[in-house]
Structures are given as structure tokens and as C-alpha cells.
Amino acid sequence: MQIRLVLLIIFISLKAVAQDTFRFQKEVLAIQKKYDTLWDNSKETIVFTGSSSIRTWKNLQELFPDYQIVNSGFGGSQTIDLLSYTNELILQYNPKKVFIYEGDNDLNDRKKPREIISVTKEIITKIKSTIPDIRIVIISAKPSLARWHLKGKYKRLNRKFKNLCKEEENLDYAHIWDIMLNGKKLKRDIFIEDGLHMNSKGYQLWYQIISNYVQ
């Protein structure tokens, strides 16, 4: 009886994860369709992927005109979702470099930093097993007005991201947290009305950091 109960719980958990990931299928297909016409497989590619902070960074190609940029960000995603769609959003473009922004929505969904790191390691392993010489850049979780009450967890996650990047070759850590603050206070004029997503001023700050890793 106990074994049946355990198996039932496992089945329900796996089904819930599958259904939750399935909700991004249309968005992922739309991204693939977009780059079916835009992506040139003869050119070196840099992929930016992750949750909505990447998805809404609309002028990436303009900011880095010397590179072919694929923006495969999908809003609302968590680290486990990117793991599920690593092939579709990263590997199929055979990039020389990939920037990853995940963890923000995980923390808001009460995931623990160690859980996020564990899945991030799986993503890294999956990418490197296909493209061994790729350069991976982990973008730190950002502060925001909407989630400022979670800043302690964000800082712990970022410390773990930083340590992870010290452990592996071809893995860099882009720390965008400090530049979004005035001292210990969060800059308020870099966000849109929801207090979570950034406006152009916010992305200008990101550019100052991220550009160092694109070159």
C-alpha cells in the first residue's frame, strides 16, 4: 500500500511538471518560427535566453551589430523550463556563446537557491555535452521593486552563481546587481509600472556590464 502511494505521488509530481512546462510550448514554437527566417547558420551566433528580463530586451541585435544575436527568452520561465527547452532555445543555433538569465521566477516561486543551482548545473552539462568549447555567461538575479522583500535570497543565489562560475572552465558570471543600486537603495526610475521589469534606463545599466562579456 505504501509503495503504491509513493508511486502515485511521484506520478502526480512528474505529470504536474510536464503540464507546467507544456504551457511554454506555443511561445517556444513562436521563437523557433521567428528565427527560421532570421538565423543564418553560416554566421557565428550568440544566444541570450531565460525569463522575461531577456525576452523584453528588444534591441539586443542593435546593441551588438557585429554579432548574430538570437533572443530566445520566454517570459515567466524558471530554470527547470530552460532545462526542458535547452535544445530548442540554445543548442539548435550552435552558438559560440550563451547568456542565461534564470532564477528570478524560481525564487518568487519559493524555490531554494540550492535547487536552482542544481538545475543550472544540469543545463550547463547538457550544453557542454553538445558544444564542448562554448562560453556560458550566467547573469546574476536582478533586484526589483516588486521582489525587494526577497533580496536576502537573491543575494544568496548570486553568491552561489558566482561560486559555480569559479568551479568550471568557460563559465563566466555577469553581476548586474550592484549597478542597479544607489548605495544600498534600489534605483526606482529603471523599472516600468509593475516594478519588476525594466525600462530602457535599466537595460542601459545591463549593457554596461553585459557588453564586457560579449566582446
Short-list 43, 142, 160, 49, CA closest to 98: 49
Q: In the prediction, which pLDDT does 23 show?
A: 82
pLDDT at 137 over 80: yes
DSSP-derived 3-state class of residue 99 = strand
Q: In the prediction, which pLDDT does 152 show?
A: 97
CA angle 60, 204, 108 (to 5 degrees): 85
State the pLDDT confidence band at 168, using cuts at 50, 70 and 90: confident
Residue ranges and CATH numbers for the domains of the chain are: 27-214 (3.40.50.1110)
pLDDT at 135 over 50: yes
pLDDT at 89 over 60: yes
The CA distance from 202 to 200, in Å, is 5
